[in-house]
Amino acid sequence: MTGRDRETPARSSAAREQSTDDRAAADHPGTATRTGEMEIWGKRVRCHPGIIVEKTLPFASILFILIITLVGRPAAAAALAVVFIAVVFINYRIWSRTTIQFDDTGVVVERDTIFKRKKTIPYSKVASVNINRGITNRLLGTSSLLININSGSGATVPEAVLTFEQDLAESIRSAILHRLYTHSEDQDDGDEPVEMPALFSPLDVILHGLFNVSTYQTLFGLFFLVYSVFQFYVSAGTDGGSTGAVVSFLIFAAMLVAPIVSQIFYYYNYRVYRRGDTIYLQHGLIRSYRTSFDVSRINAVRVKSTLAARLMHRSCIEAEVVGLASGKGQSLRPVLCLLKDDATQQTLLRELVPEFVYDRKPKKQPEGAARVLLIEAGAASLALALVMIYPSIYLYRRAMTATGIAGLTMPYILPVITISLILAIFYAVYVSYRITDLDLGDNLFSFVNGAVDRETVTMNYDRVQMVVTAKGPIARLFDVARSNIYLLSSIGGSSITSGYFHESDLNAIGEIVMERIASGDYDYRKNSL
């Protein structure tokens, strides 16, 4: 019922009676992989042996660091070396006893180690087949083939990750896509000249990396940077005391620098285009990623802009796509447009996903929502003030003895920060009330949310799996509620939340879904798993 094929507990008798040729192919994977996709079709093969290195390397690096720290203790280092050999052996055994068979109806991945399992992935249930190439893949000339199915909720990892030589992986992907999308194989050839709806320069990638990090994350990161600089300044000329500065700087690096650099590397050489009903996407500097998916797999489209991006009149587009897990988290919501000027973003939206463009007639939140938001802001402000009282008094007493600028500013810095934050909370509430809206179209509906980082989420009624409307004690007083919309396999069962509206307005979403099912407007063949 779920569309996810269950693993069978043991190898079937039919599999045991495989042909001699198949056994030979499995025993000599190098031969099979060199001779190309047609040679392996229908035969049982193994992954490229490079997968052993790929799986061992992360563990090896941890062990290497541990062994270095145990230089003076050879017995412990030897024990770790034994552990390392055991890991290599286990990965070798898993590789040697795992076979893959691409047949006419699906992919069969069979493992016969301590745990026997046989996983059958029918092509009819495959949602996407993607290529991932990390550093290890590049060194070994391989590619990882990520096969995703139309899985149920909670699907954050691919159904199968198979490593083959690069050319073979490409040809297998192409062959499976041919079965999925019924377009010719050469249409998926990345080398063929393609007219791009928009070009993304390295500057666009850098700007996306810099300004697509959430504003709150940026502010926290900058706070730790400022604190770090302050600590360095205070501890200058003293023998110690810079540990706090180093820790703060490391937090800043982890919270802000690392995500920015990671995004820049991840989206380097970004290309996106659409052919027929298929959207193609590729990017990546160190780890290259290629994917394609049918437009019918998109549940919702988000137009997003952080505060900084809005000041530059830039926004980006993300899609929620069924069955596009990469196991890396980032590509669960593929980006259809990096941060670009709003006009280009709108053009791309119309060219890539016109199915999610409609004439919006939004409804603003009712007055009751403003009161609820104000009470929530008041409660948050009170909590913040209570939390800050003691540290403020403590810092005031300590800093009163300081001289110079520190003596003048430090005693009052926490109260000033607290008051600023409270003002910011109330301003955010005002903006949130002003911009949040709800629009119920004929085929699509949308929410606009976010006081600081804004997003417009356009959803398809036919992808709604569940509607949960919630009314807290304060919301009940003012006759408003919020809804959580659970879409078809959107990231791990997460939901999309509306603003505060009258319950009847929110209930209309579920009623429209029901009406579409009853009237036949809903096409189950397009939307079922």
Partner 1 sequence: MVLFTGQRGTGDAAPDPSSGAPGTGGYRRLNRRCMISIYINYGIWYAILLAICTFLATFSQNLSDPYYEIARLALLGVPAAVLVYVVVAPPVFYTRYRYRITDDRVEVRRGVLVIRHTLVPIERVHQVEITRGPIKNLLGLADVAITTAGGVATINYLELEEAERVAELLNKLIGEMLRERLQAPASSVTGSADE
Nearer to partner 1, 148 or 489 (CB): 489
Min CB(462)–partner 1 separation in Å: 10
* Distance (Å) of CA 175 to CA 92, 171, 184, 323, 375: 28, 6, 9, 18, 58
Nearer to partner 1, 107 or 213 (CB): 107
- Is there binding between residue 507 and partner 1 (CB under 8 A)? yes
- Is there binding between residue 469 and partner 1 (CB under 8 A)? yes
Q: Which of 390, 416, 419, 423 binds partner 1 (CB under 8 A)?
A: 390
Q: Which of 360, 473, 480, 501 binds partner 1 (CB under 8 A)?
A: 473
Residue that is written with structure tokens 């009712």 in the block: 366
Give burial (CB, 10 Å; 0-12/13-18/19+) of 184: exposed
Min CB(396)–partner 1 separation in Å: 14
d(CA 159, CA 148): 5
Closest CA to 453 of 344, 305, 285: 305
End-to-end CA distance of the chain: 8
Q: Which of 1, 71, 114, 405 binds partner 1 (CB under 8 A)?
A: 1
d(CA 507, CA 496): 15
DSSP 481: B
Nearer to partner 1, 153 or 166 (CB): 153
The three-state secondary structure class of 212 is coil
Please provide residue 98's backbone torsions phi and psi, each rounded to the nearest 5 degrees.
Answer: -115, 125
Sorted by sequence, the CB contacts under 8 Å of residue 399 that are 6+ apart come out as 406, 407, 410, 411, 413
Nearer to partner 1, 36 or 510 (CB): 510
Q: 283-289 long-range CB contacts below 8 Å, 24 or more apart?
A: 284/133, 286/134, 286/135, 287/132, 287/133, 287/134, 287/135, 288/131, 288/132, 288/133, 289/130, 289/131, 289/132, 289/133, 289/326, 289/331
Q: Which of 471, 479, 497, 508 binds partner 1 (CB under 8 A)?
A: 471
- Is there binding between residue 215 and partner 1 (CB under 8 A)? no
Of residues 246-305, those binding partner 1 (CB under 8 A): 294, 296
Q: Which stretch binds partner 1 (CB under 8 A): 11-19, 28-36, 354-362, 487-495?
A: 487-495
d(CA 310, CA 304): 9
Of residues 125-184, those binding partner 1 (CB under 8 A): 152-153
Min CB(529)–partner 1 separation in Å: 5
Nearer to partner 1, 97 or 333 (CB): 333
* Distance (Å) of CA 99 to CA 14, 87, 154: 14, 20, 26
Nearer to partner 1, 82 or 393 (CB): 393
Min CB(472)–partner 1 separation in Å: 5
Q: Which of 3, 244, 415, 441 binds partner 1 (CB under 8 A)?
A: 3
Nearer to partner 1, 397 or 434 (CB): 397
Find the length of the chain: 529
b/e 445-481 (16+ beta carbons within 10 angstroms → b): bbbbbbbbbbbbbbbbbbbbbebebebeebbeebbbb
Draw the binding track, 309-348, toward partner 1 (x: CB under 8 A; -: no contact): ----------------------------------------
- Is there binding between residue 525 and partner 1 (CB under 8 A)? yes
Nearer to partner 1, 413 or 529 (CB): 529
The two structure tokens encoding residue 32: 């099979």
* Distance (Å) of CA 367 to CA 78, 363, 409, 483: 70, 12, 41, 17
Min CB(134)–partner 1 separation in Å: 30
Nearer to partner 1, 126 or 260 (CB): 126
Q: Which stretch binds partner 1 (CB under 8 A): 72-80, 327-335, 407-415, 521-529?
A: 521-529
- Is there binding between residue 383 and partner 1 (CB under 8 A)? no
Nearer to partner 1, 242 or 495 (CB): 495
Draw the binding track, 429-468, toward partner 1 (x: CB under 8 A; -: no contact): ----------------------------------xxxxxx
- Is there binding between residue 187 and partner 1 (CB under 8 A)? no
Nearer to partner 1, 29 or 323 (CB): 323
Nearer to partner 1, 245 or 506 (CB): 506
d(CA 230, CA 507): 52
- Is there binding between residue 350 and partner 1 (CB under 8 A)? no
- Is there binding between residue 476 and partner 1 (CB under 8 A)? yes
Q: Which of 12, 31, 69, 124 binds partner 1 (CB under 8 A)?
A: 124
Q: Which stretch binds partner 1 (CB under 8 A): 63-71, 111-119, 368-376, 484-492?
A: 484-492
Min CB(487)–partner 1 separation in Å: 5
Sorted by sequence, the CB contacts under 8 Å of residue 228 that are 6+ apart come out as 245, 246, 248, 249, 252
Min CB(101)–partner 1 separation in Å: 23
Q: Which of 453, 488, 500, 512 binds partner 1 (CB under 8 A)?
A: 488
The amino acid sitting at 334 is P
- Is there binding between residue 489 and partner 1 (CB under 8 A)? yes
**Opening angle at CA 406, ends 405 and 412, nearest 5:** 105
d(CA 167, CA 133): 12
Give the interface with partner 1 as residue ranges (CB under 8 A). 1-3, 124, 152-153, 294, 296, 390, 463-473, 476, 486-490, 493, 495, 503, 507, 510, 513-514, 517-518, 520-526, 528-529
